[in-house]
Amino acid sequence: MSGAHPDFEQAARHWFAGSSGELDPSQRHVLGQALARRLVARNQNRTFEEGLRFGDRLADKVAELGGSWTFIVLFLVFLACWGAINVVLGRQAFDPYPFIFLNLMLSMLAALQAPVIMMSQNRQAAKDRLNAAHDYEVNLKAEIEIMALHEKLDRLRAEEIEALILRQEEQLALIRSLVDRIGAKE
């Protein structure tokens, strides 16, 4: 991108007070986009979602379900039913009190669910970092554009003031010539 615009080096010095070689990749990208008058904003969620594999999506769904009230209520109902059935069956129960098989199942569930939730949290952290980097680029471009607009406004004001002064000088010259004519006639 840096070679695409002849003023890239000049713009780098102007906006970042350094050479283009001193810019980080985000700054280089944003400056190139600003000079080319192209958008920097994009849908980061779509980009992130497209990179997810089946296992990533599955882990996110498991974490989403495992962290919901629906899961908690259904799991409490399951535990209550398990306990009630095994207490009612007494000696014929498939998992008599103190529910050792249930404890084994719960331990295995926790052993599998915890890493899956951690994987989902790690992906969310990566997504947050990607969004933060994107926000930085958008903010940086907006800052450059705002500063450029301020410079344009300052130039326009200076040109307007120059034109106003020039008109006033012309009007003063005209008034002087009229005063000189009136003074010459008297």
- Condensed to tens digits (0 to 9), the pLDDT of residues 19-53 reads 888 888 888 888 888 888 887 887 777 878 888 88
Contact 138, 40 (CB under 8 A): yes
- Which residue blocks in the chain are alpha helix, DSSP H? 8-16, 25-35, 44-50, 54-66, 69-89, 100-185
Q: What is the dihedral of CA 34, 43, 48, 5, to 10 degrees?
A: -20
28: phi > 0 → left, psi -120 to 50 → alpha, else beta; which?
alpha
- Burial of 71 by CB count in 10 Å (0-12 exposed, 13-18 middle, 19+ buried)? middle
Contact of 124 with 67, CB cutoff 8 Å: no
Q: Is the pLDDT of residue 5 over 70?
A: no
User: Does residue 171 lie in a domain region?
Assistant: yes
Residues 6+ apart with CB under 8 A from 90: 96
Q: Is residue 52 part of a domain?
A: yes
| 30, burial (CB in 10 Å: exposed 0-12, middle 13-18, buried 19+) | buried
Count CA atoms closer than 13 A to 29's CA, side-chain side: 13
The verdict on residue 30 lying in a domain is no
Give the number of domains in the chain: 1
More confident residue, 17 or 87: 87
In terms of residue numbers, what domain contains 67?
A: 39-185
Is pLDDT at 160 greater than 90 in this prediction?
yes
Q: Is residue 22 part of a domain?
A: no
Q: Considering the domain boundaries, does residue 11 fall inside one?
A: no
- Tell me, yes or no, whether 139 lies in a domain: yes
Does residue 179 sit within a domain? Answer: yes
Query: pTM of the prediction?
Result: 0.60
Residue 6's pLDDT is 55
Please check whether residue 166 lies inside any domain of the structure: yes
Who wins on pLDDT, 3 or 131? 131
Average pLDDT over residues 128-154: 90
pLDDT band at residue 173 using 50, 70 and 90 as cut-offs? very high
Sign of CA dihedral 93, 99, 100, 102: positive
